[in-house]
Amino acid sequence: MQCIRARSLTKSYGGAGRPAVDGIDLSVGAGSVFGFLGPNGAGKSTTIKMLTTLIRPDSGDLSVFGIDALRFPLEVRRRIGVVLQQASYEPTLTVSGALEKYGMMWDVPAAERRRRAGRLLEEFDLSEIRGKRNDDLSMGQRRRVQVAREFMHDMDLLFLDEPTVGMDPAARRALLDSLRRRAKSGLTIFYTTHVLAEAEYICDEIAIIKGGRTVAAGSPESLKSRFGSGREVRIRVPSRDGRIPALLGGVDGCSVSVDAGTEIRVRPSGSNEALLRVLRVLGSHGIEIDNLSAAPANLEETFLRVVEEEPGAPGR
């Protein structure tokens, strides 16, 4: 079941510049964690504001839970949670007070508010600082409160725009694990981060945008296998063989370096075809292979490659 379907969303902030979002299509399945990645200024936050009905697109269609979000924004808002990128807090409220106030805003009954607040203080490691004012919190503590308070109400879809900024590694991991648990019980999560390891850890699907346009989309695995080629493959031969540099020097589509010992490094410049040619040349000259290894592609490498190579909107 689709939770979000967006077609050709565009948004300009006025002025002479190009649109901040320039025709984005999105399809987010219910109960999945969807990672929305892209360099600074790519249009992620602008897209989130459109998806959450905080700003109206200049053009395009948007349906959330099958509801036309442009015509019935309030119906959509009732069922979503949003943690925006900007810090938002009331300076004089305590941590407990912030949770309580959020629960009241969402009409959560008093007993349920107490139960939820207790659980969230525990889950987000806020118990010790429950009586501190927001103003006196550290940056990461404040961000934890901003995320935690969103869980005071029920929702079917949660948008998180760089929620882990300023959080320490333990707090990050705890948040990611609790998001995973919630996704397993049916919550759909739309997640933005610049920490690619986070996206790799929790996302089922990913879209990478640049210059207001989608440049790649798919599961982390499919993106890595599509864009992760071109990484270095190391071939170890049993003994040093003086013929190797000349034999492999002429193989098209890759660069080859041979150290003084027994390791050959092959970096295909396009597809992995070149690697097969290298193996064939070695085989046809009777050169055995001891070991072959490739550094596993990670999402960060893949991201950098996509962002560098894919054009995005012209002129960006």
Ligand X SMILES: Nc1ncnc2c1ncn2[C@@H]1O[C@H](COP(=O)(O)OP(=O)(O)OP(=O)(O)O)[C@@H](O)[C@H]1O
Q: Which residues contribute to the site for Mg ion (CB under 5 A)?
A: 44-45, 85
Q: Contacting ligand X (CB under 6 A), which of 41, 109, 238, 261? A: 41
The least distance separating ligand X from the CB of residue 165, rounded to whole angstroms, comes to: 10
Residue 41 C-beta: closest distance to ligand X, Å: 4
* 43 scored as a contact of ligand X (CB under 6 A): yes
Between residues 43 and 163, which has the closer beta carbon with respect to ligand X?
43
**Segment near ligand X (CB under 6 A), from 41-49, 91-99, 246-254, 258-266?**
41-49
Q: Residue 267 class from Cβ within 10 Å (0-12 exposed, 13-18 middle, 19+ buried)?
A: middle
Task: Mark residues 10-39: x for contact with ligand X by CB under 6 A, - for none.
Answer: ---x------x-----------------x-
Q: Which is nearer to ligand X, 100 or 162 (CB)?
A: 162
| 173, burial (CB in 10 Å: exposed 0-12, middle 13-18, buried 19+) | middle
CB of residue 281 vs ligand X: minimum separation in angstroms? 45
User: Does 56 sit near ligand X (CB under 6 A)?
Assistant: no
Contact pick of 1, 16, 40, 296 for ligand X (by CB under 6 A) = 40
Q: Least Å distance between CB 110 and Mg ion?
A: 36
Q: Which of 22, 34, 45, 210 binds ligand X (CB under 6 A)?
A: 45
Q: Which residues pair with 37 in a beta bridge?
A: 208
**For residues 158 and 127, is the Cβ–Cβ distance under 8 A?**
no
- x/- mask, ligand X, residues 72-101, rule CB under 6 A, reads -------------x----------------
CB-based burial, 48-67: b 16+ in 10 Å, e otherwise? bbbbbbeeebeebebbbbee
Sign of CA dihedral 176, 182, 183, 184: positive
- Which option in Mg ion, ligand X, none does residue 274 bind, with CB closer than 5 to 8 A by kind? none
| Distance of closest approach, residue 192 Cβ to Mg ion, in angstroms | 7
- Which partner in ligand X, Mg ion, none is near 245 (CB below 5 to 8 A by kind)? none
Please state the closest distance from residue 48 (CB atom) to Mg ion, in A: 8
Residue 192: CB minimum distance to ligand X, A: 7
Measured CA distances, 212 to 12, 46, 82, 191 (Å): 10, 9, 21, 17
Q: Which is nearer to ligand X, 123 or 310 (CB)?
A: 310
